[in-house]
Amino acid sequence: MDNARQIIAEVTDNVNQRSSSKKDEITVMKAMINDPNFTVGVYDKSGKVGEYCPSQEVRKMVSNIVTATTKIPNTEAKELVDMYEFTKSDASTLINLSKEFVNTYLHTGRKLPLGGRQNSNVELMWKEIGDRTAEIPVKGTNDRVQTVVPAHGGIKAINTCPSWIK
């Protein structure tokens, strides 16, 4: 079993460009859901209120599924699930589910609070971006050309300074 914090540090150390990486997403998710010692502090306006452990949460969900479908006792299902090491495929499924939830939920018009963490309190919201005219450079010259950027959707991040830091 990989230590999630070590895996995150390795991924961070190997980043030389900010583009997305499905491989890194899967590596980090797999480490998070397999590491029972990986926790993050959860904060609200009064400060730290608890900790969140992704491995415990996903294992609780899977053991509930096992209990409900097999009718074995919850303690036995928990023991079975605790022995399981989640695969890259499992991690990929959770990533895809998480992304689709974020995309779908934001279309409801509600903000999506990502939860208070030690140094941040981020919320996301859907934003309609109107069409506009933009100047873009012409490759190989100093010229610029006007182009119309059509209306499209986007995501706005709200990240005020958390009260527990002030």
Percent of the chain at pLDDT exceeding 90 = 80
- Determine the Cα–Cα distance for residues 116 and 48; give it in Å rounded to an integer: 9
Strand, coil or helix: 28: helix
- Determine the Cα–Cα distance for residues 71 and 77; give it in Å rounded to an integer: 9
Per-residue pLDDT tens for 25-38?
999 999 999 999 99
Strand, coil or helix: 73: coil
Strand, coil or helix: 103: helix
Range list of H helices, 35-147:
54-70, 74-83, 88-106
Strand, coil or helix: 150: coil
> Strand pairing of 132-137 and 47-52?
unpaired
- Determine the Cα–Cα distance for residues 81 and 57; give it in Å rounded to an integer: 12
pTM of this structure: 0.84
Q: Is the pLDDT of residue 1 over 80?
A: no
What tokens does 116 get?
A: 């208070």
- Determine the Cα–Cα distance for residues 10 and 84; give it in Å rounded to an integer: 24
Q: What is the pLDDT of residue 158?
A: 94
| Average pLDDT score over the chain | 93
Per-residue pLDDT tens for 119-150?
999 999 999 999 999 999 999 999 999 999 99
- Determine the Cα–Cα distance for residues 44 and 65; give it in Å rounded to an integer: 31
- Bigger pLDDT: 54 vs 4: 54
How many CA atoms are closer than 13 Å to the CA of 17, on its beta-carbon side?
3
What tokens does 66 get?
A: 């096992």
Domain map of the chain by residue range?
A: 4-158
CB 77 within 8 A of CB 66: yes
